[in-house]
């Protein structure tokens, strides 16, 4: 079943890269007591994700904060080393948190997994954006296959 507005984010553990290496971070740590804009991409370093999706959120991070968003996060079914390399490549510093969903457990738990095996990518996440307020989904924008519109930073900002 796909998550919907009003649902609570399930328990999940992501990986981040800290000063001492990979560190787990739970969905409770990410979302509890905060209003978070989180977006998911099918894969780090992929064309649309690198040229449009992540850069849009990086560029608009201050605009999200001005609209009451406490944090911006990016997730993908990639390992934390790939996510960290992608953040470095894209010049991401503290504008957003990079959350590795390495085994796709979060994507699956919210019903937004994607079978990209036809493209040689295996199980991935669908492209989407969510606003989560204290662990509850406030807004959800899921792209149709192959599209990039409703999960874009500008679109999400317009609908806050």
Told to judge if 49 belongs to the known catalytic residues of this protein, a careful annotator would answer: yes
Find the angle CA(83)-CA(85)-CA(90) to the nearest 5 degrees.
Answer: 95
Measured distance CA(74)–CA(99) in Å, rounded: 6
Residues pairing with 16 in the sheet: 23
* Residue tagged active-site, from 12, 44, 49, 74: 49
3-state SS of 3-37 is CCCCCECCCCEEEEEECCEEEEEEHHHHHCCCEEE
Q: Say if residues 70 and 106 touch (Cβ distance below 8 Å).
A: no
Active site amino acids: 49
């Amino acid at each position: 079943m796909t998550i919907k507005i009003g649902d609570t984010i399930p328990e999940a553990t992501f990986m981040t890269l800290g000063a001492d290496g990979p560190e787990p971070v739970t969905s409770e740590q990410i979302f509890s007591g905060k209003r978070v804009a989180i977006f998911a991409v099918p894969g780090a370093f992929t064309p649309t994700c690198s040229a449009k999706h992540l850069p849009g959120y990086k560029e608009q991070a201050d605009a999200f904060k001005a609209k009451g968003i406490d944090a911006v996060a990016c997730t993908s079914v990639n390992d934390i080393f790939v996510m960290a390399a992608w953040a470095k490549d894209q010049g991401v510093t503290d504008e957003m948190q990079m959350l590795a969903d390495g085994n796709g457990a979060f994507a699956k738990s919210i019903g937004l997994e994607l079978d990209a095996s036809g493209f040689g990518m295996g199980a991935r996440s669908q492209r989407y954006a969510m606003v989560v307020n204290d662990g509850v989904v406030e807004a959800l924008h899921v792209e149709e296959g192959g599209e990039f519109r409703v999960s874009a930073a500008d679109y999400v900002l317009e609908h806050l």
